[in-house]
Each structure stands twice: as C-alpha cells, then as structure tokens.
Amino acid sequence: MATFTRIPDDERPSITVDPSAVISKIEDNTYGGFTEHMGRCIYGGIYDPGNPLSDENGFRTDVIDAFKELKVPVVRYPGGNFVATYHWLDGVGPKENRPPRPELAWIGTESNEFGTDEFLKWCEVVGTEPYFCLNFGTGTLDEALGWVEYCNSDRNSYYANLRRKNGREKPYNVKYWALGNECWGPWQVGQLTKEDYAKQAYQWAKALKLLDPSIELILCGETGHSSWDAYVIKECIKFDLHGLGGSTTASLVDMHSIHIYTASPDHNKNATAPRSAERAIQIAAGMIDVARIENGVPPSVRRQKICFDEWNVWDPVRAPGEEGAEEKYTLSDALAVAVWLNVFIRQSQHIGMATIAQSVNVISPLMTTKEGIVKQSTWWPLLLFSEFMRGSTIAVNVRSGEYLGDTEPAWIRGAIETPWLDVSAAINDGVVSLAVVNINDTKDFETELRGVSGKDVEVHSVNGTDVTVVNTESKQEVGITESKWDGEGLFTFPKHSLTILRWKL
Ligand code: AHR
C-alpha cells in the first residue's frame, strides 16, 4: 500500500518508508507466467525438438534456465483464446496417433505434438506449478472432468488409467483450474452472455469440486471494472455446501480472474496506464465483498482474491495476435512493467496470483532465436521484482509532483493519481526493498528518503539512454546496474528509471 501527496513539480520530493507497518503478504504466485499455443510460444519457444539447445524431451534448456532465473512459481496453459477449441485428449498418448486440428483463435493448425504430459513434465523440470484453463467454447463438462481425473486421480478409473497407460503412474496434482478464458469476448469461439456464463461456471465448479475438492477454481472475469465482473461475482461467490463435502471453510470459486493490457506510443500515457489496473483491482475486490455480504458468505470461508492472469504492455495493432504478437519492448515499456509490478505489490492484499502474458516470444520479455535467447527491456524489471519484492508489503508515502496530462484510458484521470515517482515497498527476512519508478523522461528527482536505516544500501537500477531504446540480439540497451549508497543525504532517482533500494533493518 502506498499513499500519495501531490506537491508542486519544483519542490523536493520525499519518500517515507515504515517497515513496522506491515500490510499484507505478497503471494509468490504474483510472479507467474503464461504459455499459450500461440505464435512461437510453445513451438519454437519452450519446445524446439532438433535444436542443439534442446534436451531429450525437446525442451529448450536456455528457456528453462531463464524461467528458473526468474523463479516463476506457476505457469498458465494452454490458453488464452486458444483453449476455446482445444480438446485435451487430442494431445495425449503416442504422438503418431495425435490428430492435427484447425486452430480457430489464431488461425493455424495445431499439431498436438505438445500436450498435457509434455507441459506437466516441462513444469517439473522447471520447478514450477501448472495452472490449466478449461475449454468453455467447444468443450463439455464431461471433457473437463476427464481432464481433472487424468491429471489428479489415483483411482482405478478410466482417465486415471489412461494417464498410467501413457507412462505416468502417479497423479500430477494440478491445483489451479480456470473456468474458461475471456468468455465475454466477441472474438471468442462460443462467446457467452454473463447470465449463461455464470450458470455454466457455477454448475461446472460444483461437479469439478465433487470430483476433486483439492483443486482451486478461478472464475472468468473481464477487466475487474465491468458489469460482467459484477454479475458473475454476485452469482458465483456464494455459500453453498453442495460440492464441498460439508466444509464451512471452502468455496466453489477460489479466485476471480481479470485481464488488462496497457499500451500507448506516448511515454507518459504508457507509463501511467497500469494505474487503471490498480483501480480495477480495488473495484473487483469491492465487488467480491459485496457478493460475500449480500450472499451471506461466512467469514470462515477464505476471501476470494484476484487472479490477474493476463497483464502486460501490448498493442494488438502494433503486434497482431495472428502474426504471433512479437512486441519489441522499449525502455518506456520496461518502466510501464515496473509500474504494473508496483501495482501488484501495493495491492498484495487482493492479489492471489498474477501471470504475465506471455512468457516466451508472444508479447514476452523473453525471445528465442535458433541460437539462443534475447532478454527484452521488460525482462529486467521483472527479474528485479521477482528477486527482491517478496515477503510482505509495507506502508510507504510519497510526496512528489504528478503527471497531469491525458491518460490511456482517459478515465484514470479522476479515478486514481499518476505521480512522477511511483513507489512500493516490501519487507522479507528483515531486509527492506523500496521500488521507485521515476516515470519522468526529462527530470531527475533529488529526493529525501525517510525511514532508511543502515549505511550499506544496495542500489539496483534499470535504465537506458532514452525511453525509445530496445534490446536486440546484437545490443543490450536496457539492463541492470548495481551500486551502493551510504544512506546519507538525498538520493537522486534519475529520469526514466527503476531503482530498487535495499537495506537490512
Ligand atoms: O495473451 C494473448 C491473448 O490475449 C490471449 O489468448 C487472450 O486471452 C487475450 O485476449
């Protein structure tokens, strides 16, 4: 949580950190990833058989190492829009028997060479947890139940035995399952009305939890600030003992998903756009409370959090999905990603999971070539946050000037502030981390820091020569620099930079 006090641009800013004011736990799953059968994310991304960089499973080892470096705790799969016509049975068993199928989200042919067992094996190699999305387009409840049984059951039953026949004796225990993806979208195969979706999601949730009460189900929301969100939350976040084995602490729906992409060719609009996501989280969290109050959900039932399972900088006109959505990220985009991550830290009390869309090649910080990987500008803030901004959110106040121009979307203005210094703070094992994004692309800010203790402050920064620079195979324009600060006097946050300061209490 952070509070903001606006001061004139020519006054000296100050930041006050209070390490004793611990607000809420930062879930490790805030640093989740997403791999969809789209563009070069799976084929040529995580799976590239025949490439010298791939292991005996066809998994790219440089990509695996990058996931490990980022400490990605959970990965969403197989879509995205792709899932609306995906039949998981096509992707299991001997590869020579798997049928190629027309793919209707991104208009291609899905070979089904990579499917459930390959993905789950890849997760085990990476050391990450899978998060599956169910087909609410052309899929059936029977098929969804079959998939959960295949992955999680240790019974002597059909799909559990099919898994054994396919070479996997013990269950995979996939915990997270999404009840469809963007079912509200006109681009979606099998688009639903909110009324039809809520009815279907609720009935599927009941059946899925009867089969496996250990799973967590994620409701398909929209942006978090829409009437779709309000309706499906109200209809599905209830107190219903059916399907829960009489438990008074469990619920059919465990999290509510929202998706937002931000982007603007104008740097100030680009860097402030993630503030819309912050307001969306607050609004959706409020809607969850309304549903719990009006539906009489007892406090013993764990409060449903937000699963922000698609977020990033993406302009689909600049990088169309049908062409693989290979965005080239600038320093401006890296700062926008840093503001996105600050949003999740500030709002940690409401965030159960967040998965960046996506993790390889498609709108991704990580790109593959045949010869290796390229870390885009957006990789660096993600790496620093995943490394340092864990543990618990602590209170911080920033006094600074504010960007007061137009925003994208326009409604940000009037709904939430857009300070030049965007901050969040965390404490983990007695070490305080303060993340400061100076979004101003022309001004350094000499800042008074209050609450910093110790003379040995680590300084980790992401910056570049100007906000338009990008990283390529041959040149890394944006990266991390490390230094020390003695904690004395004022600290200068350079123009267009992310700085993480760290000190021991
Ligand atoms: O992440 C790319 C696409 O964006 C996903 O498939 C879809 O869910 C969203 O519209």
Q: Which residue's CA is the closest to the ligand 1 atom numbered 6? A: 80
Handedness of CA 72, 476, 421, 451 (dihedral sign): positive
CA–CA separation, 358 vs 340, rounded Å? 14
In the reported structure, the alpha carbon of residue 80 is separated from the centroid of ligand 1 by a whole-number distance in angstroms of 5
Q: Which of 110, 182, 278, 417 is catalytic?
A: 182
Give the model confidence (pLDDT) of 159-211 as tens digits: 999 999 999 999 999 999 999 999 999 999 999 999 999 999 999 999 999 99
pLDDT number for residue 248? 77
pLDDT digits (tens, 9 = 90+) for 260-296: 999 999 999 999 999 999 999 999 999 999 999 999 9
Side-chain-facing half-sphere of 410: CA atoms under 13 Å: 0
Measured CA to CA, the distance from residue 453 to residue 26 in angstroms comes to: 23
Classify the C-alpha dihedral 63-65-70-74 as positive or negative.
positive
Condensed to tens digits (0 to 9), the pLDDT of residues 373-429 reads 999 999 999 999 999 999 999 999 999 999 999 999 999 999 999 999 999 999 999
Beta-bridged to residue 311, according to DSSP, are 260, 356
Ligand 1 pocket member 117 (CB < 6 A): no
Cα angle value 480/484/486 (rounded, 5°): 150
Sorting pLDDT into bands at 50, 70 and 90, what band is 243?
A: low
> At residue 43, what is the residue type?
Y
182 noted as active-site residue:
yes
Q: Extract the tokens encoding 180.
A: 């469809």
Residue 246 has pLDDT above 80, yes or no: no
Q: How many residues does the chain have?
A: 505
Identify whether the C-beta of residue 65 lies closer than 8 Å to the C-beta of residue 123: no
125 backbone φψ class: left, alpha, beta (φ>0; ψ -120 to 50): alpha
242 pLDDT tier (thresholds 50, 70, 90) = confident
The reply to whether 169 belongs to the active site is no
Distance of CA 146 to the CA centre of its chain: 27
The string of pLDDT tens digits covering residues 320-362 is 999 999 999 999 999 999 999 999 999 999 999 999 999 999 9
Q: Does 137 sit in the ligand 1 pocket, CB within 6 Å? A: no
Four-way CATH pick for 26-390: 3.50.50.60, 3.40.50.720, 3.40.50.150, 3.20.20.80: 3.20.20.80
Cα Rg for the chain, rounded, in angstroms? Answer: 23
CA distance 263 to 277: 12
**Protein residue whose Cα sits closest to atom 8 of ligand 1:** 80
Q: 175: CA distance to ligand 1 center in Å?
A: 22
Displacement of CA 62 from its chain's centroid (Å): 22
CB 176 within 8 A of CB 130: yes
User: Which residue intervals of 154-193 are DSSP H helices?
Assistant: 158-165
Q: What is the mean pLDDT of the chain?
A: 97
Q: Which atom of ligand 1 is nearest to the CA of 82?
A: 6
Contacts of 144 (CB under 8 A, 6+ apart): 134, 135, 204, 208
pLDDT for residue 300 = 93
Calculate mean pLDDT across residues 430-448: 98
pLDDT exceeds 90 at position 440: yes
> Which residues fall within 8 angstroms of residue 61, CB to CB, at 6 or more apart?
53, 54, 55
Query: Which residue is it, tokens 């009815």?
Result: 199
Report whether 356 contacts 397 (CB < 8 A): no
Cα 469 to chain center, whole Å?
Answer: 25
Ligand 1 centroid to 81 CA: how many Å?
Answer: 6
Distance from first CA to last CA of the chain, Å, rounded? 20
Instruction: Tell whether the model's pLDDT for residue 249 goes beyond 90.
Output: no
